Each structure stands twice: as C-alpha cells, then as structure tokens.
C-alpha cells in the first residue's frame, strides 16, 4: 500500500542537533601536498548538516556539538577522514589534512550503470539522507530512486521500472540476501511502496544495468542494500502522524545492540478528511514489527540478524462495483549474516534467510496465494597486493509458490510450484595500470524446475580521463526465471535473458557531478503465447530497449542548497506475452525527467524540498478497437513539497514534518482499465485510472528520547 510505514522520518536527521544548541565550527582542509582542498565535503554522516570548503580550503559549519558526533570529510581522489568532536567547543578551529587514495586519485573505477548512496565512500553521487529528504518520496527507497535517470515513471504502480524493463526485472538484495517480496501488496490506483525503511541501511547501490556477477535474477537492475552496523547510542523513538502511531527502541551495550520498532497505520480518518477519487469500503490498515541485532566481532567481523513482519488489509470499489475488491496481506522476512576476516588477505561472508508472503484477494471470486522461501549464501574474497581482488561464492534459493482459486460459481483451482535455484559466481576486479580498471566475471545458475543451466559472463571497464573525468563501458548477460503466472501453465519454461551494452562518461569536481550514459538491451527467450491462450506459453518472445540517460547534480552553486536534474530517453519494443507483434509495453514512456531541490534554512532550522517530475504519454490497449496499443495516457506531471523543522519538545530532540504531493493540482490520469468480459452491447466497459486522491498530505511529529540525537532504526 502507498501509505504504510507511518513514521517515515524516524531517522531523517539521525545526528542533527537542536535549534537551542547551534554552535559554529570552522576549519581548513588541506591536501597532503599542503595545497587547499577546494570543494571538499564536510558533513555529519546521516544528517543534512554539511558544508563545502572554499577556494582557500576553509569551511564553516553550524551544528550542535556533542561528544558522540564525528565529522566526516571527503574529497574525490582522497581517503575519507572521520574527526571526533569529543572535547570540541564553540569557536574551535580544525586543521584537517587528507591523504591521497591510490585507487581514486591515480586510477579508474567501475561506475557503469551504478548509482551508490553511501556515507562511507567519497565519490558517490548520492548520500542516504538524500533518499529521506526527496520531496514526494516520503522516505520510500523506490520513490526516491525514481528521480534518477534510467527509471520510468509509473506512479499508479509505485515500483521501480528500469530502462524499458518491467518491475519484476529489478531484483532487491539486503546484505547480499535476495528479498522475494520487496514491495507491499497493492490494488489498482493504490501504488505499492518498499517494505524497508531507508534508515535501516548505511549504503544503497542501485544499478541500472551491467551489474556484478555476484547478483542475479534481475533482467534490468539490481538494488543492493547494506544494513547499518552498531548504532552510536541507545535511544527511544516515538511518532504521531496523520496516518498512525509508531514506537521504537535501540539499546547499545558494549559491542552489541538490539532494536525493536512497531507501527500502526489506519487511513480511515484521513480518507474522511481528504478528498478521494476511490470509494473506500475498508481504508488501509496495517501494522508492522521490526527486530534487529548486531554484534561486533574481533578483527572487524560483524554478526547481524533482523526480522520484519507486516500485516495489512483494504477493500475498495471501482465504479460502484459489487462486491468490492478486497486485499489482505501477511509478510515476514528474517535473515542472519556473518562477516569475518580470517586472514590478512581474506574476507568471508555468509547468510541465511527465510521469507513468507500470503495474499488473500476477494472480488466475487476468492484467491489465496502463498509463497515460502529459504536461501543460503556464502562469498569469499582474496585480496592481492597489486590492488586486485578475486571474489567467488555460491547460493541456494528454494521457493514454494501455491495458489488456491475459487471462481464466483464455486469452481476450485489449485497450483503448486516448488523451485530450487542454485548459483555460483567468480569475479576479478582491479587496476590495469593507472588509467584503466577492469571487473570481469561469470555467473552460473541451475533451475531444478526447468532443468536448465545458464551461464552469464559480464565485463566492465573504466578509463580515467583526466583528474576529474572517467569513461565507463560494460557488457553482460543476465537471466531471470519467468513469473509464476506463466509457470503455472508450463513449469519447465526456460529462463528469460537480456544482454546489456553500456557506454558512459562521468565528471565530478568541486561539488558538481555530470553523468551521461547510453545503452542497448537485447531481450531473448521472453515468455510468449498466442493472444488469449496463455496455456500455450513458450520462450519465443524477444525485444529491445535503447536510450540515453543524463544526470547533473550541483551542491556548490547555491549556499545551503542542493539540486539535481535527470533526464532519460527510451526507445523500446517487445514481442512477448499475448502481444500480436513488436509493440511498446504500457509501462514504458519515451521521455522522463526530474528536478529535485533541497534547501537548508539555518535560521529556521528547517529543511525544504521540492521535486518536479515529468513523464511523456505511455501506450495502452483498448480492446474495443481493432488496433493494438492504439491509445496513450496523458502527459504526467507532479510537483511535490516537503519541510522538516528541527526543535525540542520536553527537552528532547524532535522533528515536525510536512509533505504534499501534486501541489499545483495537475490533472493526473493513467489511461483506462477494461472489464474482462464484454457487455450486452459487445463492448468492454472502461474505468478511468486515476490516483487514489488528487493530492496526498502527510504530517508527523517525531520525538527522540535518549543519550544522543538519534532515532531508533
């Protein structure tokens, strides 16, 4: 559901001070040769507090000084540096010297198709806080990533669609473990959102193509999320929002920590107050529980365990239909991961995970769909003194998909699909001289359901062009098991495949980043069947996608301001499923653009954000006409606003948050949905697809009670 996770900003300013304790910190950043570092990033990790050094290397930062805080300084080509603020007082001056990084300053890196949000790397295009503060995203990872190039806007769906691929072609991983159901369940006109809060993670790697052989089962993209290590302090969090309530606690002792968070959402009161296009029979209700445990081990090892459980339900009428469409969902996911450094040149990580998902749908018929998964994974890395690394490992993934269907006249149908997928990979990455970087590897997968073995070689190259620019190239083959919807008719259906060809250029300097990337994707072995005869499905489908992505970010031109502009051009066609020939699918738009702006108003202790999104019309099919895909949706536009005010309440750190989507009131429509059977006049009756409401308003109060200026994860 679109509005789950009511405490959206529980960590949005996870180290930020209060307005009552603001002090000024000044300093100078120099390089190891004594010259000033121009445009170095100086910030508190996980917060919006930050500055950029000037032409003389000096910076000034207003913040709340606390012994638990650490300042991070990053500069392209140099090692990041963390400076403890323990004992630092108002008016003190810091002198910081950065050391050159061989792999960053003198050598190329692998960047083709990759967007990384991290506080731990110095050359990233995004930071985790960017996901939280993107207007219109409401702290949803997928919604924030949809402002990046390579994505296609499908606001009625809510999931990620990348470079001409459908939402299934984006595979999500948490600490290397595959997430079987990363989105909440949804119905038409009510978009899904991610099940995980972005504040659980210290790093987000979003690939729009050409990704590592360590990952698979995504024809278009891989989204890799890395959870946080030990928190800085113990803290209790409370939230009260326009949609519900939430509470959480994190306890840190020694080298261990435990966290528990719970929330409850009830959209009934909200739907009564705010105008709605949908006729709610039962407004969204949802509850969730998240548990986490971390333990630091000797030699920088780490043990992590986490579990999440969610329950949600709703019922809605479309066009006054009887009976309403109802949806109830139970979901659980648990995993344990272990990272060890058994030797000076070795690293080893392994993990176990289990998942459960159950959907019950009613609309005159009754549908009960369940999925159970279990997986195991292990990866070893051997580091060499010449800057090369060799990674190899394997995984085993078991799933059992079961569906019970009872028609409106009482006819039952049961489908069970057990599946085993075994995979292994090997990959080498390192430097070819000072200007070239290479990542080459291969992935092998065997499906017990189809009895098919697939090999997927992949190569990425980086060439450093000057001190601030780089060219990147990538090629690879990617496989994915077809959807259960088609496997039910033919369980031994083979894997679908796509080949990626990518060429891009990236330039970073003085707080500004420019990136241009072109690509071609060649689809093979897609599921296809004669129109209206899915039981005849085979692997004869094919298609292509080609396009150009543009991204520009500027954190230096506007004082306390930060903005990025992204644009994507896409040309794609597919001959798959029941398509009578090659056509552009309904989820693909030719042009997509986003402008994201964020501004920190220090005098008000407020962060303000604006996001403008534009998407060209998408095709859709009208069964009442002889042509296929002959209609188009209107042009889509949205302008969203958010604001976060930092203050104190009862002596504790608090955030007051407000967000509004579609501020100007653009007319938003997504085409039409048609009845599955023709009426007495022989025509299929259409129902207009529109958002659940013309605008979505969200307001919340978030309170942190504890040792530091933190919120529980």
Q: What confidence score (pLDDT) does residue 5 get?
A: 39
Sign, CA dihedral 668-674-680-682, equals positive
Contact assessment for residue 536 and residue 154, using Cβ atoms and an 8 Å cutoff: no
Q: What confidence score (pLDDT) does residue 238 get?
A: 93
Contact assessment for residue 705 and residue 652, using Cβ atoms and an 8 Å cutoff: yes
CB within 8 A of 523, min separation 6: which ones?
A: 219, 496, 497, 498, 541, 542, 543, 544, 545, 574, 576
| 92 domain-assigned | no
Q: What confidence score (pLDDT) does residue 139 get?
A: 79
Q: What confidence score (pLDDT) does residue 676 get?
A: 79
End-to-end CA, the chain: 21
DSSP code string of 583-620 = B--TT--SEEEEEEEEEEEGGGTEEEEEEEEEE---EE
Q: What confidence score (pLDDT) does residue 77 get?
A: 63
Phi then psi for residue 210, to 5 deg, are 65, 35
Sign, CA dihedral 668-670-676-677, equals positive
* Mean pLDDT value of segment 646-675: 90
Burial class (CB in 10 A: 0-12, 13-18, 19+), 414: exposed
Q: What confidence score (pLDDT) does residue 198 get?
A: 82
Sign, CA dihedral 672-673-679-683, equals positive
| 19 domain-assigned | no
Sign, CA dihedral 600-235-309-351, equals positive
* Mean pLDDT value of segment 170-174: 95
CA 158 to centroid of chain Cα atoms: 11
- The closest of 639, 690, 614, 634 to 275, measured between CA atoms, is 690
Res. 11 pLDDT band, cuts 50 70 90: very low
pLDDT at 225 over 60: yes
- The closest of 346, 354, 263 to 4, measured between CA atoms, is 263
CATH of the domain at 392: 2.40.170.20
How many angstroms separate the CA atoms of 560 and 607, rounded? Answer: 10
CA 488 to centroid of chain Cα atoms: 30
DSSP code string of 626-679 = SSSS-EEPPPEEEEEEEEEEEEEETTEEEEEEEEESSTT-------EEE-SS--
Strand, helix or coil at 101? coil
pLDDT, one tens digit per residue, over 104-161 is: 434 556 667 666 554 455 444 566 677 777 888 887 889 989 999 999 999 999 999 9
pLDDT, one tens digit per residue, over 187-205 is: 888 899 899 888 888 888 8
**Percentage of residues in the chain having pLDDT higher than 70:** 88
- The closest of 291, 136, 301 to 638, measured between CA atoms, is 136
What is the token pair recorded at 454?
């697939």
Across the chain, what does the average pLDDT equal? 87
What is the number of domains present in the chain? 1
| 521 domain-assigned | yes
pLDDT, one tens digit per residue, over 549-604 is: 999 999 888 888 889 999 999 999 999 999 999 999 999 999 999 999 999 888 88
How many angstroms separate the CA atoms of 135 and 660, rounded? Answer: 8
What is the token pair recorded at 323?
């009976």
Domain that holds residue 653: 114-706
* Mean pLDDT value of segment 268-276: 90
Contact assessment for residue 39 and residue 52, using Cβ atoms and an 8 Å cutoff: yes
Q: What confidence score (pLDDT) does residue 47 get?
A: 55
Strand, helix or coil at 268? helix
pLDDT, one tens digit per residue, over 453-490 is: 999 999 999 998 888 889 999 999 999 999 999 999 99
Res. 712 pLDDT band, cuts 50 70 90: low
pLDDT, one tens digit per residue, over 79-107 is: 788 888 777 776 678 888 888 664 443 45
Contact assessment for residue 30 and residue 97, using Cβ atoms and an 8 Å cutoff: yes
How many angstroms separate the CA atoms of 471 and 309, rounded? Answer: 43
C-alpha triplet 270, 274, 278: angle, nearest 5°: 90
CB within 8 A of 315, min separation 6: which ones?
A: 280, 281, 282, 324, 325, 326, 327
* Mean pLDDT value of segment 69-80: 76
pLDDT at 13 over 70: no
pLDDT at 9 over 90: no
Report the half-sphere exposure of 516 (CA within 13 A, side-chain side): 2
| 77 domain-assigned | no
pLDDT, one tens digit per residue, over 362-408 is: 988 999 999 999 999 999 999 997 789 999 999 999 999 999 999 88
Beta-strand relationship, 170-174 and 221-227: parallel
**Percentage of residues in the chain having pLDDT higher than 90:** 58
**Kind and range of the H or E element at 487?**
helix 484-487
| 51 domain-assigned | no
CB atoms closer than 10 angstroms to residue 558: 12
Give the CA diameter of the chain. 84
How many angstroms separate the CA atoms of 92 and 25, rounded? Answer: 6
pLDDT, one tens digit per residue, over 310-338 is: 999 999 988 767 788 999 999 999 999 99
Range of weakest confidence among 33-37, 51-55, 686-690: 51-55
List beta partners, residue 78.
75, 100
Query: What is the Cα gyration radius of the chain?
Result: 25
How many angstroms separate the CA atoms of 13 and 129, rounded? Answer: 8
How many angstroms separate the CA atoms of 302 and 284, rounded? Answer: 38
Report the half-sphere exposure of 442 (CA within 13 A, side-chain side): 5
Q: Tell the residue number behind the tokens 């509470």, with chain if given.
A: 247
Q: What confidence score (pLDDT) does residue 366 get?
A: 93
**Total residue length of the chain:** 713
Q: What confidence score (pLDDT) does residue 125 get?
A: 55
CB atoms closer than 10 angstroms to residue 72: 18
| 17 domain-assigned | no
| 6 domain-assigned | no
Report the half-sphere exposure of 395 (CA within 13 A, side-chain side): 27
Burial class (CB in 10 A: 0-12, 13-18, 19+), 299: exposed
pLDDT, one tens digit per residue, over 428-439 is: 999 888 788 999
C-alpha triplet 695, 189, 687: angle, nearest 5°: 110
How many angstroms separate the CA atoms of 594 and 638, rounded? Answer: 10
* Cis peptide preceding 323, ω within 30 of 0: yes
* Mean pLDDT value of segment 10-31: 56
């Amino acid at each position: 559901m679109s509005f789950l996770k009511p405490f959206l900003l529980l960590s949005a300013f996870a180290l930020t001070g209060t307005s009552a304790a603001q002090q000024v910190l000044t300093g100078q950043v120099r390089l190891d040769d004594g010259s000033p570092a121009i445009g170095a990033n100086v910030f508190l990790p996980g917060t919006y507090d930050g500055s950029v050094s000037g032409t003389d290397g000096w910076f000034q930062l207003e913040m709340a000084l606390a012994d638990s805080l650490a300042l991070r300084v990053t500069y392209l080509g140099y090692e990041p540096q963390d400076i403890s603020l323990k004992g630092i007082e108002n008016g003190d001056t810091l002198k910081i010297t950065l050391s050159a990084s061989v792999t960053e300053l003198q050598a190329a890196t692998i960047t083709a198709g990759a967007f990384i949000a991290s506080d731990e790397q110095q050359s990233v295009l995004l930071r985790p806080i960017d996901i939280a503060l993107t207007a219109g995203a409401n702290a949803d990872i997928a919604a924030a990533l949809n402002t990046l190039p390579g994505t296609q806007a499908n606001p009625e769906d809510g999931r990620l669609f990348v470079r001409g691929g459908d939402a299934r072609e984006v595979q999500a991983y948490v600490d290397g473990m595959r997430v079987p159901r990363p989105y909440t369940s949804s119905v038409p006109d009510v978009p899904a959102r991610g099940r995980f809060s972005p504040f659980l993670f210290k790093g987000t790697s979003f690939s729009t193509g050409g990704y590592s052989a360590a990952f698979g089962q995504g024809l278009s993209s891989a989204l890799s999320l890395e959870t946080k290590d030990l928190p800085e302090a113990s803290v209790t969090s409370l939230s009260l929002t326009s949609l519900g309530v939430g509470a959480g606690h994190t306890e840190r002792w020694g080298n261990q920590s435990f966290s528990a968070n719970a929330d409850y959402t009830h959209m009934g009161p909200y739907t009564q107050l705010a105008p709605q296009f949908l006729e709610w029979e039962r407004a969204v209700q949802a509850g969730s529980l998240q548990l986490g445990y971390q333990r630091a081990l000797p030699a920088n090892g780490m043990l992590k365990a986490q579990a999440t459980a969610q329950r949600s339900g709703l019922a809605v009428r479309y066009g006054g239909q009887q009976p309403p469409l109802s949806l109830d969902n139970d979901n659980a996911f648990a995993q344990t991961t272990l990272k060890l450094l058994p030797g000076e040149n070795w690293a080893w990580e392994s993990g176990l995970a289990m998942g459960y998902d159950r959907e019950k749908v009613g609309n005159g018929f009754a549908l009960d769909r369940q999925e159970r998964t279990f997986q195991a994974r292990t990866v070893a890395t051997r580091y060499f003194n010449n800057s090369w690394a060799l990674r190899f490992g394997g995984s085993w993934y078991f799933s059992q998909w079961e569906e019970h269907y009872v028609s409106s006249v009482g006819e039952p149908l049961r489908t069970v699909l057990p599946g085993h997928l075994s995979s292994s990979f090997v990959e080498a990455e390192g430097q070819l001289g000072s200007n070239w970087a290479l990542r080459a590897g291969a992935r092998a997968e065997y499906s017990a359901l189809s009895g098919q073995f697939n090999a997927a070689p992949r190569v990425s190259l980086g060439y450093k062009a000057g001190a601030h620019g780089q060219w990147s190239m990538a090629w690879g083959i990617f496989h994915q098991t077809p959807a259960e919807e088609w496997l039910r008719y033919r369980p031994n259906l083979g894997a679908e495949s796509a080949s990626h060809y990518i060429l891009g250029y990236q330039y970073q300097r003085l707080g500004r980043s420019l990136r241009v990337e072109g690509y071609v994707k060649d689809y093979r072995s897609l599921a296809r069947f004669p129109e209206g005869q899915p039981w005849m499905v085979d692997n004869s489908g094919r298609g292509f996608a080609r396009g150009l992505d543009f991204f520009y970010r500027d954190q230096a031109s506007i004082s306390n301001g930060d903005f990025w502009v992204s644009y994507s051009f896409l040309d794609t066609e597919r001959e798959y499923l029941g398509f009578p020939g090659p056509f552009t699918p309904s989820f693909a738009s030719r042009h997509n653009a986003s402008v994201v702006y964020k501004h920190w108003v220090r005098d008000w202790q407020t962060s303000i954000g604006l996001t403008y999104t534009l998407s060209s019309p998408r095709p859709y099919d009208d069964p009442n006409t002889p042509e296929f895909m002959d209609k188009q949706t209107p042009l889509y536009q949205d302008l969203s606003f958010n604001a976060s005010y930092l203050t104190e309440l009862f002596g504790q750190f608090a955030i007051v948050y407000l967000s509004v989507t579609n501020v100007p009131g653009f007319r938003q429509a997504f085409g039409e949905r048609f009845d599955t059977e023709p009426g007495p006049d022989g025509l299929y009756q259409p129902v207009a697809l529109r958002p659940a409401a013309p605008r979505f308003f969200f307001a919340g109060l978030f309170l942190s009670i504890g040792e530091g200026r933190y919120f529980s994860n």
